[in-house]
Structure 1
């Protein structure tokens, strides 16, 4: 008779036998990771719901995706709950084993367990692939912000004191950084986005905004990196630029784009069933796989599209700004994802303009010759786009789409969404003096 799944070890015999030896060091690393602000921002989400990823159809009554679906019965609710419980079995087994080993290791480790479990940025009941990461953090590649413990000081970004220092982040490694970003600037010319809405007769700019707002929630629920979110939005735009889409397939395109971007950016991407679940079972597995093939063939399997998020990190490192200013620039840049009016802007120029506006909002510096050299833009090249961005911050277009603002209103993101905006006349004066 097969052994029940809940009684099986989380990672095999090897991990169970070595957990006692590694649990104390693992807990210490988890506590130190709380101080790594940038890593927390990339992988933690305060606004995402506790428990399994939230099921939601992105468009509600805007589409006919649910017209033929009967009302969910109590039996189906119980079935869905069992599915969620089954998904988190491995995570619960691992947590239970850790508690047992902690009790065996002595009473001194109990306060550490309590402090880790009470940390508000750690979610309970999420996908098991995310619960396993504290154990495997030493085995995989170093994630973003991993040098925070080496470079102390809250007023400086990790590794800011010496811009020419060779770092573990491949995109920040000065031995290759210049060539990498020169290559990314050239690739921007290969991926221009045209005004594709003129040939899309069944979808609109507002529907795209709703889709991106939902994609932000997916990124939070699955604790994906921001690079995954930005790349997924790019994939959606480039696919819609070449393929006419019906509105009931728009969420399928968005979820499939996140799946593809996750495979490209993440160490442990979510599985297909998870994407079907968060779409409220509006689509079948075969539809998702077919859409994945369609997107990849349409883009000729060339999905290494430059994104603004990477340029932002590069500019912040060159300017030696603190984490709060960089987070404000990221908030401004992420707001533009759901705005169709910005899809035709180059990622490097959009990132430079967002960073320029963040510098002025925080009054922490100006567009220096070093930034001109690293970005390739003079301050006057950015004035027009900076004004549009400030207008976007001041006058929110979509009152009901608050995923980005809610996300960046949390203390983990320094509550940058609450930063007072600049008056348009004052901004004009600042730009005039910056010339």
Structure 2
């Protein structure tokens, strides 16, 4: 009786393994997201994979140590958050390109990781970083006087220009770095994004710009996790397609730690002192993305000892 039972179990296991193998064979194929752009010379389809492989290879050069703030003696991560939150509002007021915001934050972090700054000069660093980012990304650059004015005339023109010289020399004139925005455009295409998903993804990743603890994640992972989190928010369940996994090079499991932090930021986005991103994305221009119900189920899940979810 025992032998018969064991044989039956083994047969059932073999049958299940065959079914799993068959499922692997009939998996949804990875979609070619560039096929429709073959005739668009601006899409550089023939080079796009090489371009993003280069971005992935070099993105570490745009990252800083996740504990760089410990080397600063007069500023802290809270002050950094206040600065970034204010700059997001300045960026919105001046109607600057998205790329400019991400490069601004990158320049600030890279500079602060190398140069000690007193708190009364921190806003000057932020304003100057935005000026540099504008010169790199924008067609029309705000004049120095406008940036001084929006800083409540806290600094002179000479101070801004002196800080500009210090920053470009400290950063060795390296402005060409892959930020999360670079990856967002590509990954949203892989996700076959509509406007709703796009706006929610950008809301989520902009929340992360303010949070110092998110520096530990690479730009590409932040971008992928923001889109995954937005998908979870809209769908009410986890969904990460083979196409998304293929083009981002991240599995769902690799995104969960970052994604859960993103959900926690979404949950508290409208409260506290730093609400610039929430206010921005609560407007009709940004599809009221901030008013979406957070993906609570992601933070409520807890990994069990076997590696699954409880």
- Shared fold (TM-score greater than 0.5)? yes
- Measure how far apart 1:398 and its partner are: 6.3
Give unmatched runs, 5+ long, in structure 1: 1-159
Contact 2:269 2:275 in 1 (8 A): no
1:251 corresponds in structure 2 to: 123
Q: Does 1:399 align with 2:272?
A: yes
- Measure how far apart 1:254 and its partner are: 0.2
Question: Could you tell me how far apart the structure 2 residues matched to 1:169 and 1:196 are?
Answer: 42
Q: Aligned in 2, Cα 1:168/1:401: closer, same or farther, shift over 3 Å?
A: farther
Which of residues 244, 250, 254 is equivalent to 1:381? 254
Under a length normalisation based on structure 2, what TM-score does the superposition of the two structures give? 0.82
Contact 2:96 2:138 in 1 (8 A): yes
Under a length normalisation based on structure 1, what TM-score does the superposition of the two structures give? 0.59
Q: Does 1:209 align with 2:54?
A: no
Q: Aligned in 2, Cα 1:169/1:385: closer, same or farther, shift over 3 Å?
A: farther
1:347 corresponds in structure 2 to: 219
Question: Could you tell me how far apart the structure 2 residues matched to 1:314 and 1:213 are?
Answer: 26
Superposition pairs of residues 22-421 of structure 1, within 5 angstroms: 163-164=34-35, 165-166=37-38, 172-194=43-65, 195-363=67-235, 366-396=239-269, 399-421=272-294
Contact 1:167 1:173 in 2 (8 A): no
Q: Aligned in 2, Cα 1:339/1:425: closer, same or farther, shift over 3 Å?
A: closer
Contact 1:163 1:318 in 2 (8 A): no
Q: How many residues align?
A: 274
Q: Aligned in 2, Cα 1:233/1:167: closer, same or farther, shift over 3 Å?
A: farther
CA deviation string 1:262-283 (max 9, x = no partner): 0111011111111111111111
Question: Could you tell me how far apart the structure 1 residues matched to 2:112 and 2:122 are?
Answer: 9
What secondary structure, in the 3-state scheme, does the structure 2 residue paired with 1:190 have?
helix
Contact 1:188 1:306 in 2 (8 A): yes
- Measure how far apart 1:179 and its partner are: 1.6
- Measure how far apart 1:174 and its partner are: 2.2
Question: Could you tell me how far apart the structure 2 residues matched to 1:264 and 1:169 are?
Answer: 23
Contact 1:263 1:269 in 2 (8 A): yes
CA deviation string 1:306-345 (max 9, x = no partner): 1112211211111212110111011000001111101221
- Measure how far apart 1:222 and its partner are: 1.0
- Measure how far apart 1:169 and its partner are: 8.9
Give unmatched runs, 5+ long, in structure 2: 1-30
Name whichever structure is richer in helix by fraction. Answer: 2
CA deviation string 1:248-304 (max 9, x = no partner): 100000000000000111011111111111111111111111111111111111111
Contact 2:68 2:113 in 1 (8 A): yes
Contact 1:390 1:424 in 2 (8 A): no
Q: Aligned in 2, Cα 1:168/1:263: closer, same or farther, shift over 3 Å?
A: farther
